[in-house]
């Protein structure tokens, strides 16, 4: 591990992300985009041959390719040059035990969402991170876009006035057929298996992104919700479509829709925020632009790289306007903020609020709570339940 006072790039290990995995490679490429950390160790697969194969392809020392994450956590914590943080990109069911293994040994954690299967597990990780004074990032990717950060700054500055209504949706078509049953699609197979993914599919996979995007941009906190979870493909064991009515603390209202059976939709995450003075709209499939409408004024389309953004958003813009920045850059922005905070912490310096501009463990806890409250409501005939 890095010694206090050093400013070298932090080192990391990865749990998951082996042969056939999608998101692990995304994490590695996003970190590499800025060279913000060095990959030194891994337990990439439940099968050691898969870990060895991935490790070889990444040029890692075979001595730092482990059979289990428990072995990896213990061995890396015992090394003078052990990893500074771990990235966990496994199916949902192993997030909690893997994160706990590393937090217990003083290693900072970055974990994919949803954070855990149970609220109590997420809260346990938060308490452990606080007790051991460790950073924890939950990778809600879409908060990394400059336009999202500018939208957040506009709302925080009161430019839209009092927030009255939020409409957010995330629509995909990739599970419009029973893809999980053909035995060929690794992602569909584990997401359709309750033993690996938990009590929900669509609400956990993409619904938590909706909850977090709204939470991040507006600062609103859910007071009550009423949800209907649907399983529209015959024979599927978990939800593939959901509608959620939301009452926020303070009186604002909202509607969320998530679907993985919406034919014609690729990765259509969209947010609309309506206030007493104006509104804004952002789409993940056109992430460089932000539609802003103010009462009594012509609507305008702000362009990332061309139009001035809030300084906290502008510093995340990488290239000139018209050169699209997308998913990898947003992911890299999350990691750039996390690793910058980690370098400062490893150097023995105090962290300020602006250093923590990445989704943290409280965001992870909120996502798990959202899952459970949606299931509770839907199981009770879409009853209105407290968040």
Q: How far is CA 260 from CA 87, 127, 180, 367, in A?
A: 26, 34, 13, 18
C-alpha 39/C-alpha 340 separation (Å) is 16
Given a cut of 70, whether residue 115 has pLDDT beyond it is yes
Pairing type for strands 108-111 and 85-89 reads: parallel
Bridging pattern class, strands 278-283 and 289-294: antiparallel
Confidence class for position 127, pLDDT limits 50, 70, 90? very high
Q: What pLDDT score was predicted for residue 5?
A: 44
Lowest model confidence (mean pLDDT) among 216-230, 243-257, 310-324, 358-372: 310-324
Domains of the chain listed by start with CATH number = 11-134 (3.40.50.720), 145-317+366-386 (3.30.360.10)
Quick one: pLDDT band at residue 7, thresholds 50, 70, 90? low
Give the separation between CA 325 and CA 315, rounded to whole angstroms.
13
The model's pTM is: 0.95
CA distances in angstroms from 58 to 14, 17, 25, 42, 266, listed in the order given: 12, 12, 11, 10, 30
β-partners of residue 29 are: none
- CA dist 55 and 74 (Å) reads 19
pLDDT of residue 4: 45
């Amino acid at each position: 591990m890095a010694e206090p006072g050093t400013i070298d790039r932090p080192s990391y290990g990865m749990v998951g992300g082996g042969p056939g995995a999608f998101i692990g490679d995304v994490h590695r490429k996003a970190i590499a985009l800025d060279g913000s950390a060095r990959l030194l160790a891994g337990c990439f697969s439940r099968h050691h041959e898969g870990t060895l194969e991935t490790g070889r392809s990444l040029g890692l020392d075979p001595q730092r390719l482990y059979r289990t994450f428990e072995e990896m956590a213990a061995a890396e914590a015992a090394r003078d040059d052990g990893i500074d943080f771990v990235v966990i990109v496994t199916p949902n069911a192993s997030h909690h035990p893997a994160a706990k293994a590393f937090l217990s040994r003083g290693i900072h954690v970055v974990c994919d969402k949803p954070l855990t299967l149970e609220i109590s597990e997420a809260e346990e990780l938060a308490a452990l991170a606080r007790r051991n004074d460790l950073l924890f990032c939950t990778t809600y990717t879409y908060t990394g876009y400059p336009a999202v950060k500018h939208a957040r700054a506009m709302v925080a500055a009161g430019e839209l006035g009092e927030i009255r209504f939020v409409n957010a949706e995330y629509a995909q078509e990739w599970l419009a057929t029973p893809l999980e049953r053909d035995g060929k699609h690794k992602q569909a197979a584990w997401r359709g298996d309750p033993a690996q993914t938990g009590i929900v599919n669509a609400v956990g996979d993409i619904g938590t992104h909706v909850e977090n995007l709204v939470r991040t941009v507006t600062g609103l906190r859910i007071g009550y919700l009423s949800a209907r979870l649907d399983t529209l493909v015959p024979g599927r064991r978990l939800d593939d479509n959901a509608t959620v009515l939301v009452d926020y603390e303070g009186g604002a209202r909202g509607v969320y829709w998530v679907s993985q059976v919406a034919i014609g939709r690729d990765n259509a995450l969209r947010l609309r925020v309506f206030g007493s003075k104006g509104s804004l709209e952002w789409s993940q499939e056109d992430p460089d632009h932000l539609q802003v409408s103010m009462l009594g004024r012509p609507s305008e389309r702000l362009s990332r790289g061309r139009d001035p953004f809030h300084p906290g958003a502008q510093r995340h813009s990488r290239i000139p306007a018209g050169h699209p920045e997308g998913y990898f850059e947003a992911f890299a922005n999350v990691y750039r903020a996390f690793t910058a905070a980690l370098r400062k912490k490893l150097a023995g310096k105090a962290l300020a609020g602006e250093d923590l501009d990445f989704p943290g463990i409280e965001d992870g806890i909120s996502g798990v709570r959202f899952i459970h409250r949606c299931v509770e409501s839907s199981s009770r005939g879409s009853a209105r339940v407290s968040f």
